[in-house]
Amino acid sequence: MIKKIKYKFLLLVVIFTTGISSSCNKYLDTKPQDGLVQQDYWKTKEQLGAAVAGCYVSLIVPTTTKTIPLAKYLFIWGELRADMVQSTNDPAASGLSTSGLSTLQRDELDMMHDDLVSTNSLSNWEAIYRTINYCNNVIKYGPTVINNDNTLTQTALNSYLAEARTLRALMYFYLLRTFGEVPLKLDPTVTDTDIKPIAKSSQQDVYNQIISDLQFGVQNGVQSYGNIADDKGRITKYTAATILADAYLWMEDYQKCINACDMVIQSNMYQLLPAGIQPNDFLNNVYTNGNSVEGIFEFQYNLQALNPFYDMFANTSHDFMAADWIVSGNLYGIDPNDATDKDIRGSGTSYLESNGSIIKYTSNKTTTTSYTHWFVYRYPDVLLMKAEALAWVKPGDVTNGTQAITLVHQVRNSRHALSSINSAAVSDPDPTSALAVSTYVFNERAREFAFEGKRWYDILRNAKRNNYANENILLDIVASSALPAKQQTVINKFRDHRSHYMPIFSTELQTNRLLVQNPFYQ
């Protein structure tokens, strides 16, 4: 990771239509010489703004044309070890050799088949640490600008720092959930002298830093930038509060999760689309066009910076499709008597019933117009996180359980969710059963966030709660998606909780002598 970013701080300067809006027209890639960053660059608030813009650009523009884009990693890490996605080309499922596939295709299949090793390229965290490094530059050098530009106020400086610290926290939150213990690097790598081996930090230390950064983001982030693209594409205090709620939920700090969710809900900045909206209008508003009233934080792809999704889901050699159990109607349900009576999130919105194609990101797009956003957080996430936290903050409390069910109803009513799925009724759970209520939320999250990179994290969070009291939710799911010949092997592997986190990429171990491989893969 450090070796890859050692060649100076790469500042991505972006020309925007308004301010540093994420709807950019052109990217300028400049590489200052050693020492230029701190000595000659950080002089004006405009330079500071451009540096913050570079943090966002790093989310959507990969290092090279051969580098896997960050959003593809986030999809892969959040979906491939779960049960909602399958490969379009899996010779192993028929007992055939995978030797004719590319290395990336084999790595994807190995991840789907729960056969991870440290040489798997999908365990490469370089793209995440690249963004972290941009944020670290802003956090370290940004405060010096106020000494050079008297038009920069402390409030404005703090809001820029809030963006950088919140983005850094988001990146570390992905690392925490994916790898467990990771190096916690808080200083930028600018010159060769900054390259030093760094050991992993404990999960608790990483989590503490995430919380500290997010609390700063909540306290100092802006409420609004005055335009929709920036409010959805840049960090606001409510973006920080949403990530904070997710982090609290992950670490089972339920009252704090509820409080963070309430901050977002009570802001009145977001809302669900109204009940009765037609499926195509829902698809266009939320996904095809993006930046809807439901959007909280979205990667702002555009014609100058296309997303990776067309190649992943739509072209003739696309990689992934919806799992068979979803296509057959076991997620959203099918009304055999009325084709128009349907969950607006299902077939025709998230996937095609006819062939299992995932269309959430590619509907009405081509190879040259594939700029649907990556949806990091949407408003229903806040409602369902609060519902899950309510179930567990005081287990068995009927008032909390009833409120949690009501929040799920809000989402279901907005989506015209069906009352039965393949003849099985979707009924309200017992509000006094925390497990029943949280399972109800879990199932609704599958429908709401299908193919949005959240499924594995939802499974793991629900399994590990209360010292893996609900381990079977994970074991049942991985068993259902395993190759039949390897099903028992997979179950036995996942009984070792250390296997729930990915291995550290072998290249990182070779270049950082202080790194130690995650225990399961040693």
pLDDT greater than 70 at residue 28: no
* Predicted confidence band of residue 38 (pLDDT cuts 50, 70, 90): low
- CA 262, 254, 500, 521 torsion: positive or negative? positive
Count Cα neighbours of 384 within 13 Å in the Cβ-side half-sphere.
23
| Mean pLDDT of the region 92-109 | 93
Question: Tokens representing 219?
Answer: 């306290």
Name the more confident of 316 and 74. Answer: 74
pLDDT at 44: 97
Instruction: Give 380-433 pLDDT, tens digit per residue.
Output: 999 999 999 999 999 999 999 999 999 999 999 999 999 999 989 999 999 999
Residue with tokens 């409010």: 231
pLDDT greater than 80 at residue 39: no
Burial class (CB in 10 A: 0-12, 13-18, 19+), 17: exposed
- Sequential DSSP letters for 147-159: GT-TT--HHHHHH
pLDDT greater than 60 at residue 191: yes
**In Å, how far are 153, 174, 216 from 165, measured between CA atoms?**
18, 14, 7
Cα 397 from chain centroid (whole Å)? 31
Contacts of 286 (CB under 8 A, 6+ apart): 273, 292, 294, 295, 375, 378
Contacts of 259 (CB under 8 A, 6+ apart): none
| Mean pLDDT of the region 205-227 | 99
pLDDT at 520: 98
Cα 189 from chain centroid (whole Å)? 25
**In Å, how far are 127, 312, 504, 512 from 4, measured between CA atoms?**
10, 26, 15, 12
Q: How many CB atoms lie within 10 A of CB 41?
A: 21
pLDDT at 94: 87
Question: Tokens representing 96?
Answer: 């055939």
pLDDT at 51: 97
pLDDT greater than 80 at residue 299: yes
| Mean pLDDT of the region 166-173 | 99
**In Å, how far are 21, 306, 307, 412, 493 from 373, measured between CA atoms?**
15, 9, 7, 23, 35
Beta partners for residue 420, in sequence order: 425
Cα-based angle 51, 57, 61 (whole degrees, multiple of 5): 140
pTM of the full structure: 0.94
**Which domains does the chain possess?**
308-494 (1.25.40.900)
| Mean pLDDT of the region 467-473 | 98
Q: How many CB atoms lie within 10 A of CB 397?
A: 17
Instruction: Give 50-91 pLDDT, tens digit per residue.
Output: 999 999 999 999 988 788 999 999 999 999 999 999 999 999
Whose CA is closest to 251, among 128, 389, 446, 125?
A: 389
Instruction: Give 243-284 pLDDT, tens digit per residue.
Output: 999 999 999 999 999 999 999 999 999 999 999 999 999 999
Question: Tokens representing 430?
Answer: 């017992």
Residue with tokens 């930046």: 291
Whose CA is closest to 4, among 517, 511, 506, 505?
A: 511
| Mean pLDDT of the region 132-146 | 97
Residue with tokens 């995978």: 98
Q: Tell me what percent of the residues of the chain surpass a pLDDT of 90.
A: 86
Per this entry, what is the length of the chain? Answer: 522
Whose CA is closest to 388, among 218, 298, 261?
A: 261
Q: How many CB atoms lie within 10 A of CB 373?
A: 27
If DSSP codes are grouped into helix, strand and coil, which group holds residue 394?
A: coil
Instruction: Give 357-375 pLDDT, tens digit per residue.
Output: 999 999 989 999 999 999 9
- Alpha-carbon distance of 65 to 509, in angstroms, equals 25
Question: Tokens representing 226?
Answer: 């005055």
Instruction: Give 118-138 pLDDT, tens digit per residue.
Output: 999 999 999 999 999 999 999
pLDDT greater than 70 at residue 36: no
Per the CB < 8 A criterion, the answer to whether 489 and 509 are in contact is no
**In Å, how far are 47, 77, 82, 367, 499 from 477, measured between CA atoms?**
49, 16, 7, 34, 15
| Mean pLDDT of the region 439-454 | 99
| Mean pLDDT of the region 222-248 | 98
Whose CA is closest to 349, among 447, 453, 455?
A: 447
- Averaged pLDDT of the chain: 92
Contacts of 266 (CB under 8 A, 6+ apart): none
Cα-based angle 419, 425, 431 (whole degrees, multiple of 5): 90
